[in-house]
Amino acid sequence: MTIASIEAVPFRLPPRRDFKWAGLQVDLGGFVLVRVTTDSGIVGYGEATPLPDWGGDFGRHAGETLATVTAMVNEVFAPALVGTDPTQVRHARTIMDRAAIGNVYAKCAVDMALHDAWGKITGLPVYKLLGGSVRASVPVAHMVGLMGEEDALAEAEGAVADGARALQIKGGVDAERDIRLTAALRRSLGPDVLLRLDANQGYGHPKAAIRIVRRLAEAGVDLVEQPAAGLAAMAEVTAAASVPIVADESCWDIHDALDLVAMRGADCISIYLAKAGGFVGAAKVAAIAEARHIACDVNGSIESAIGNAANVHFALAMPAVTLPAVIPISAPAGTHPYRIAGRYYEDDIVDAPFPVKDGALLPLDAPGLGIAVNEAKLARFRCG
């Protein structure tokens, strides 16, 4: 069996509300669908959720857009991969790495589509291709975007009322606001909800960041994500902090993960399939984390159902992923199980909502990514 064609299609979903974090200049909700078709007619789907202003510490990893991902897939990766075996997913990554440096969002979308096709060819869900599940479900942390304190409190309380047991609170612009909000959330939500404050590198010099993290801990935070920029600063904060520190911008791929371990740059790693260029690369990050007892979550840029299905399969199969995942609960219009928790878009390009129980996503047990992409909806949401 060979790959007959690979095609990229940009599309947009309508957001439930405005979502922002420190540094984010564009609107969420833009995606590139990648469709891999084999010579026997099997179709695999993948997705990129690129952002132009997201690129790792000191711009070491470049931002991407819907247009750049579409062009890289159609003009560079498709010609390199057409005619090869769709089930040779590691080899495909090697071919893509030879064809282009970087461009991990585009590589991720192709890698994901190949895994979906491979699963459909073998009749197995992707989590089984990854070695099988090590947990029964994936607890979800609801992301509370950068917004006024009253709005953030209302969003958080709504998500917890829906059943969420973990929250990721965006901050990093005004430390005093973050400390006040954390204390207010802890007072309102009680001791059992996991509170993770994401500063998106915003607390400056390590000594300043250490003081802020100490006060966040006193206010009741459980985890602080990316308080500073760069592994050297992150290591200083990690050494001084009483709460676990999570690396996000500082850890994209296996090379960042090796540096993080060597420098003791964080206690936890936030893994995105996209930062590592897909399942093949992200599994390497998870393996390093597992070897060093570094707890991970699966996170991303609020994917559509395609990328989110990939998130669920990955989180089910990786022993290191023990933290609640900051990922959506995907559902088409009118079917979302919750008012707020995990609800970022008003519609999605699948026909059925993802199965969920007690704020946790359940396995998608059909072959491949386990979802049916609605091509009519894709045509409606297509934007290029």
With CA atoms as reference, report the closest residue to 311 among 225, 371, 375.
371
Q: Which is nearer to Mg ion, 224 or 369 (CB)?
A: 224
Q: Which is nearer to Mg ion, 139 or 227 (CB)?
A: 227
Residue type at 44 in one-letter notation = G
CB of 168 to Mg ion, least distance (A): 7
CB of 266 to Mg ion, least distance (A): 12
**Burial level of 14, CB count in 10 A (0-12/13-18/19+)?**
exposed
Q: Which is nearer to Mg ion, 139 or 300 (CB)?
A: 300
CB of 105 to Mg ion, least distance (A): 16
Q: Which is nearer to Mg ion, 126 or 231 (CB)?
A: 231
Give, as ranges, the residues between 303 and 342 that touch Mg ion (CB under 5 A): none
| E strand segments, 49-106 | none
Give, as ranges, the residues between 351 and 370 that touch Mg ion (CB under 5 A): none
Give, as ranges, the residues between 237 and 266 that touch Mg ion (CB under 5 A): 248
CB of 326 to Mg ion, least distance (A): 8
Q: How many residues of this chain interact with Mg ion, rule: CB under 5 A?
A: 2
CA dihedral (182, 183, 188, 192) in degrees, to 10, reads: 70
Element (H, E) at 28: none
Strand order in the sheet with 245-247: 141-144, 166-170, 194-198, 223-225, 245-247, 268-271, 295-298
Q: Which is nearer to Mg ion, 62 or 362 (CB)?
A: 62
Strand order in the sheet with 30-38: 3-12, 30-38, 43-48
Give, as ranges, the residues between 169 and 198 that touch Mg ion (CB under 5 A): 198
DSSP state of 205: S
CB of 28 to Mg ion, least distance (A): 13
CB of 360 to Mg ion, least distance (A): 21
Lay out the site mask for Mg ion across 193-232 (x = CB under 5 A, - = otherwise).
Answer: -----x----------------------------------
Say how far apart CA 347 and CA 363 lie, in whole Å. Answer: 21
Q: Which is nearer to Mg ion, 198 or 222 (CB)?
A: 198
Q: Which is nearer to Mg ion, 130 or 216 (CB)?
A: 216
CB of 147 to Mg ion, least distance (A): 16
Could you tell me if 206 and 236 are in contact, meaning their C-beta atoms sit under 8 angstroms apart? yes
Applying CB under 5 A, does 347 fall inside the site for Mg ion? no
Residue numbers at the binding site for Mg ion (CB under 5 A): 198, 248
